[in-house]
Structure 1
Amino acid sequence: MRLPRRLFCTALLGLAAGTMSAAALAADPQAGAQYLVLPSPQPTDTGKKVEVIEFFAYYCPHCYAFEPALEAWVKKEGDDIAFKRVHIAGGAGVLPQQRLFYTLDAMGLLPQYHQKVFDAMHQQHLRLSSDEQVFDWAAQNGIDRARFIDTYRSFGIQAKLRRAAAMMDDYGVDRWPLVVIDGRYITSPSHVGAGAPEGTTETQQQQTALQVMDFLVAKAKADKR
């Protein structure tokens, strides 16, 4: 049975399938297998840099597991890419986490606190599923509570939430973490893991996804020349 899009997490598709080994990528990744091509490419505004968007959720354990490898990959790519994150929309329990992400971003605090939010949920087991829980967490972590709440409840954050929901529809997001490259190509650990042999690990699945991302960034750069 297909789960509703807003409630889907990568593990539900990918972990049972396992992953591809690095050796399996001796040949170029194939469209329709390790990555998908969007039927309607989405516009980008990053000039000669290749736009890379990650769709993720703070509550998702597989987004949390992917974060260190993804962060290292982004640093490796450097100025060749313009990296963006989109926190997926969800139900009432996810909305405070989504607002938290966009509030930190609007306040210029995301680089400092992004990993701390992940750790709060997956190491300290904080739910952050209500506004008050989020406000308490922000204050306990040294963020001005009043300023945070004002930003959290602002029209600007509401606009970002609407934009995130629209982007999920535009890109056909049905799992996370999911990566979109150059507004045209989609891949994820679960995409590269589909149909792979059993016995491989989630870490291998992630590393193979990063190799596919390398390929797609190079492909997008070549297309821009």
Structure 2
Amino acid sequence: MKNINLFTLIRNIFFGVLCLGFSNVALSQARPIEEGFDYRVMPVAQVTESKGKIEVLEFFWYGCPHCHDFEPELSAWIAKQGKDVVVKKVPVAFRDELLPHSQLFYALDSLGRNDLHAKVMVAMHVNKKKLLAEAEIADWVASQGIDRQAFLKAFKSFTVTSKARAANQIAQAYRIDGVPTVAVQGKYLTSPSIAGGSKVRATQAMDFLVNKVRKEKK
């Protein structure tokens, strides 16, 4: 009988802690979006390029597991945005040896194959490909039905390499020190890590910030 009571006690404690955890998550997602808790205001606002639109930048790195994890929620959020919202992806290479990942993104973009964006992350984080060496990148791209030589021409082009380095300069201007991070209208930053480690809370903050910018424009 004592063993049964002890088991019951442990079980009740376990489920009590579990329910408390769920309650805390639910409460955090129910409270209003707040500066300092769910988003940050940049000390110096950056100039946006999408005139007349609300510009949202997603800073990411193909090798980041958190970016891969956030991709489904982010894609679903993007699909729900109105015509007044423009979302741009900005690849970040925190070290020079990671620039091939940024070049891969812009080379695919130049070839009109942005549909492979999520597949690159799957290749790296599920299939464990590094996609850093030029030959390995070209082999993978060719396996996706893209002409190898056409891709390599784009990958090594002045335009693509310049965009890859310019993306790092943009990230530095926004003081990006971790990814994924989302910037709204050059003024506000949020991310799952900023928003208490919650992907849902981050997208809620993004909704809040987009609506905030709409009101500011009026």
TM-score interval w.r.t. the shorter chain? 0.7 to 0.9
- Name 1:4's counterpart in structure 2: none
CA offsets 1:118-147 (integer angstroms, 9 cap, x no match): 111111111112111101111121111111
Structure 1 match to 2:214: 221
Partner Cα separation in structure 2 for residue 146 and residue 171 of structure 1: 35
Per-residue Cα deviation, 1:36-82 (whole angstroms, up to 9, x for no partner): 11111111132332100000111111100100010000111131310
Normalized against structure 1, the TM-score is what?
0.82
**Alignment-derived partner of residue 56 in structure 1:** 60
Percent identity, aligned pairs only?
A: 41
Bigger RCO of structures 1 and 2 (CA < 8 A, at least 6 apart) = 1
CA RMSD of aligned residues (A): 1.5
3-state SS in 2 of match to 1:104: helix
Structure 2: give runs of 5+ residues left out of the alignment. Answer: 1-23
2:67 matches 1:102: no
Counterpart in 2 of 1:123?
126
Aligned length, in residue pairs: 195
- The answer to whether the 8 A contact 2:93-2:101 is kept is no
Alignment of 1:158-169 (within 5 A): 158-169=161-172
Supply the AA of the counterpart residue of 2:201. T
| Structure 1 unpaired stretches of 5+ | 1-19, 194-201
**Conserved? CA contact 2:38–2:201, under 8 Å:** no
Deviation at 1:93, TM superposition (A): 4.4
Query: Is this contact kept in 2: 1:192–1:208, CA < 8 A?
Result: yes
- C-alpha deviation, 1:27, in angstroms: 4.1
* Structure whose alpha-carbon radius of gyration is higher: 2
The reply on whether 1:75 has 2:79 as its aligned counterpart is yes
Q: Tell me which residue corresponds to 1:12.
A: none
Give the structure 2 partner of residue 43 of structure 1.
Answer: 47
Matching residue of 1:208? 201
Answer yes or no: is the 8 Å Cα contact 1:177–1:188 preserved in 2. Answer: yes
